[in-house]
A and B are shown apart, each in its own frame.
Chain A
Amino acid sequence: EVQLVESGGGLVQPGGSLRLSCAASGFTFSSYWMHWVRQAPGKGLVWVSRINSDGSSTSYADSVKGRFTISRDNAKNTLYLQMNSLRAEDTAVYYCAAYYDGFDPWGQGTLVTVSS
């Protein structure tokens, strides 16, 4: 079964850090560009970051540039998002997704809440 499973979300204080993981199974993870997309409570989908298949190229939304770092370990079929200097506006469900011709599959999402 093709599957992405995120983990690592939780409650963190403003200025804190969190590392999200996304474990892939059922497809050739190393062949796909991978992305993080987030959704604030009651809001729409917003692209966050992407990494190419071998990890040599990354890109970020302006809102997270310099604070978030995307990485991957193809040997472990796992995608990561290191989030530093977190702000209240980073509160959202974070989804990982594979991209070939559209985002498919998506993970189930992990909730990140930034609050004191």
Chain B
Amino acid sequence: QSVLTQPPSVSGAPGQRVTISCTGSSSNIGAGYDVHWYQQLPGTAPKLLIYGNSNRPSGVPDRFSGSKSGTSASLAITGLQAEDEADYYCQSYDSSLSAHVVFGGGTKLTVL
């Protein structure tokens, strides 16, 4: 069971907007630690998609956006494309764990 909770799956048709939630607690997201998001295409390594809650690395389309509020964060994808079909993970820091670095369980995005 992951410290950060994500829905196991979401889906949407091409062109639609989907959101993926990442719910934490007062010892991680709620404590003010940044949330980062990663995209993992099938058979490949994860790739940084959003850093510092809402910032996009160069090369990431502006269809991807991130936000954070309270003990939760969200990733939004607009104008869904077939190539967006992937697993998405949120990641933050937790002060109550020796591990400190924590990931969400991952969300499988299916483009219908």
Q: Which residues of A contact B (CB under 8 A)?
A: 35, 37, 44-47, 50, 59-62, 95, 101-109
Question: By the criterion CB–CB under 8 Å, are B48 and A103 in contact?
Answer: yes
Q: Does B51 contact A (CB under 8 A)?
A: yes
**Residues in chain A near residue B100, CB distance under 8 A:** 47, 59
B17 to chain A, nearest CB (A): 23
**Residues in chain B near residue A102, CB distance under 8 A:** 34, 36, 38, 48, 50-52, 91
Interface hub of A35, A44, A101, A108 (most chain B Cβ within 10 A): A44
Question: By the criterion CB–CB under 8 Å, are A62 and B101 in contact?
Answer: no
Question: By the criterion CB–CB under 8 Å, are A103 and B105 in contact?
Answer: no
Interface flags, B27-56, vs A, CB<8A=1, else 0: 000000010101010001111101110010
Give the size category of B's interface with A: 20 to 34
The 9 closest A-B pairs by CB, nearest first: A102-B36, A102-B51, A104-B48, A47-B101, A44-B106, A106-B45, A45-B103, A101-B51, A102-B48
Interface flags, B74-110, vs A, CB<8A=1, else 0: 0000000000000101010000001111111110000
C-alpha spacing A59/B100, complex, angstroms: 9
Could you list 19 examples of A-B contacts with CB < 8 Å? A44-B2, A45-B40, A45-B103, A47-B99, A47-B102, A59-B98, A59-B100, A60-B98, A62-B99, A95-B45, A95-B46, A101-B34, A101-B51, A101-B55, A102-B38, A102-B51, A104-B57, A105-B48, A106-B48
